[in-house]
Amino acid sequence: MTSAEYKVKGMTCGHCVSAVTEEVGGIEGVTDVRVDLASGLVTVASTVPLDDKAVRDAVDEAGYEVVVS
């Protein structure tokens, strides 16, 4: 089991959380997605190593952006 955190900008409500959770949750191997709306942190748990590009693409598909530090 692996997990990673991503900072996502643009989320403002419960619908945003649902959209990100649904898109990221659809990535192969992902077992859990937790979104902290206040901080913008998205924690993703997976049975396989996460592909950061796949996560960024899923967040983009939901209409938001992963902040790259």
Number of domains in the chain: 1
Provide the domain limits for residue 10.
Answer: 2-67
Do 20 and 59 contact (CB within 8 A), yes or no?
A: yes
Strands 2-9 vs 30-36: parallel, antiparallel or unpaired:
unpaired
Residues of the chain above pLDDT 70, percent: 99
Residue with tokens 């900072």: 7
CATH of the domain at 21: 3.30.70.100
What confidence tens digit (pLDDT) does each residue in 22-43 have? 999 999 999 999 999 999 999 9
pLDDT at 68 over 90: no
